[in-house]
Amino acid sequence: MGLRDLAVRAATARPRVLVVEMPGGALVRMAAERELDRRGWPVGTAPGSADVLLLAGPVPESLAEAVGLLWDQLPGPRARACPASPDDVARELDSAQASLRDDPQQRADARERDREPASSWVEDDMDHGDMDHGDHDMDHGDMEMAPGGIPLAEGDDDRDGLEMDVLVHPLGPLLDRWPGGLELRTRLHGDVVAEAEVHRPAAEAADDVPAPVATWDAVATVLALVGDEVWARRARGVRDQHLGLGYAAGDERSVRAHLSRLARAHVLPHSVADVLGRLLDGRLDPAAHRLDDAALSSLLAGHDLGDVRLLVAAHAPLLPLVRSAGVGHG
């Protein structure tokens, strides 16, 4: 006991949690958001400053390697919470917090990582990379330049005919506020997504999310993405009411009025507000309308990175993410 203990308790009182949904883990993710709201723990948007990595739902084999990479991005002290079902969330968060408070364990983790040469936060010794470079023939020198192992961007004409650097930038499969396991391989011109190649995960179990819950979840995610935390929490309250958890008093009408205010102020792109409106009115039925890969890809092309995040969040109820072996989809 003493000052050190007090500092550790203060540091871990409100750990920052990066919530990543696994394929089929939407209900677990919603339970996690509910529990984090209740505790007042902030939700992280970047692994670089997160303390806890929460993987909502069982991790499929195909994502295990990606999860390992993401886990390496957490600077530490770090803890992992892996609730497989909504009932596990509170217990997993408690044990994550206890693990953050366990100084000897965190020190051991840090020492272990210092020994790994390729740990992402240890500055890599890049000298050999540069030395290599001299051996190549210099004809296509520009193409082969790879400072730090990262190839330089190629140029291409963007939508306005200006030559821009083209970057290949993946969105997902592990991202906060993002449909579980969805992967977009985008080509960026500046911050505009020129094209997006869609990959969806295969998962064993389909999520059984009722349509109004999925819709209100999309509303809450979009509001959280535009930084409107107060209204995002209200939308989550409405969503939880539809889940039969009535303790959060949500008011559907006021949230809907707020959505149209945001649309008028252009805080939400027109297409996002439109889709949310149609989902809320029931004119767009998540059970009947489904976006396939090509439709999603053409929907996203030409938008900037921020709008792409909003569009994906708004269309999440229409994305049949789960392609389980038994059930096909149209």
Partner 1 sequence: MADVLAALAGSSGVLLATLLLAWTASASYVVATGRPGGDALLHAPRETARLLRQRRRTTLSADRLLWRGSGWSLLLVAALLVALVPWGGSALLPGSLGVVWANTLDIVVWALVWLLGWGANSVVGLVGGYRFLALALAYELPLMFALVAPALAAGSLDLAVVADAQGTLWYAVWMPVAFAAYLLGVLGFAVLGPLAAPAGPETGSGVLAELSGPDLLVVDAGRYALLGAGAAVAVPLFLGGGAGPWLPGAAWVLLKALLLTAALAWVAGRLPVLRVHRLMEPLWTVWLPLVVVQDLVVAVVVVAGR
Which region, judged by CB under 8 A, interacts with partner 1, from 120-128, 207-215, 283-291, 293-301?
A: 120-128
Residue 318: Cβ within 10 Å count = 21
Round to whole Å and give the CA distance between 155 and 223. 35
Site string for partner 1, 123-162 (x = CB under 8 A): xx-x--------------------xxxx------------
Number of residues that bind partner 1 (CB under 8 A): 59
| Extended strands (E) in 9-120 | 17-21, 52-56, 79-81
- Residues numbered 177 to 206 that lie near partner 1 (CB under 8 A) are 177, 188, 190-191
Which is closer to partner 1, CB of 21 or CB of 176? 176
Structure tokens at 84: 């497989």
- Residues numbered 79 to 108 that lie near partner 1 (CB under 8 A) are none
> 105: helix, coil or strand?
helix
Which is closer to partner 1, CB of 233 or CB of 323? 233
Round to whole Å and give the CA distance between 24 and 257. 31
Instruction: Give the side-chain half-sphere CA count within 13 A for 145.
Output: 7
Residue 224 touches partner 1, criterion: CB under 8 A: yes
> 297: helix, coil or strand?
helix
State the nearest-atom distance from the C-beta of 105 to partner 1, in Å.
14
Q: In terms of Cα–Cα distance, which of 166, 187, 189 is closest to 297?
A: 187
- Residues numbered 2 to 31 that lie near partner 1 (CB under 8 A) are 7-8, 10-16
Which is closer to partner 1, CB of 121 or CB of 154? 121
Which is closer to partner 1, CB of 108 or CB of 122? 122
Contact call for residues 36 and 63 (beta carbons, < 8 A): no
Q: In terms of Cα–Cα distance, which of 172, 225, 168 is closest to 198?
A: 172
Contact call for residues 106 and 100 (beta carbons, < 8 A): yes
Round to whole Å and give the CA distance between 322 and 243. 21
Q: In terms of Cα–Cα distance, which of 31, 23, 293, 6 is closest to 172?
A: 23
Which region, judged by CB under 8 A, interacts with partner 1, from 43-51, 63-71, 154-162, 195-203?
A: 43-51
Which is closer to partner 1, CB of 146 or CB of 206? 146
State the nearest-atom distance from the C-beta of 230 to partner 1, in Å.
5
Binding site for partner 1 (CB under 8 A): 7-8, 10-16, 40, 45-46, 48-49, 51, 73, 75-77, 110, 120-124, 126, 147-150, 167, 169, 175-177, 188, 190-191, 223-231, 233, 262, 265-267, 269, 304-307, 309-310
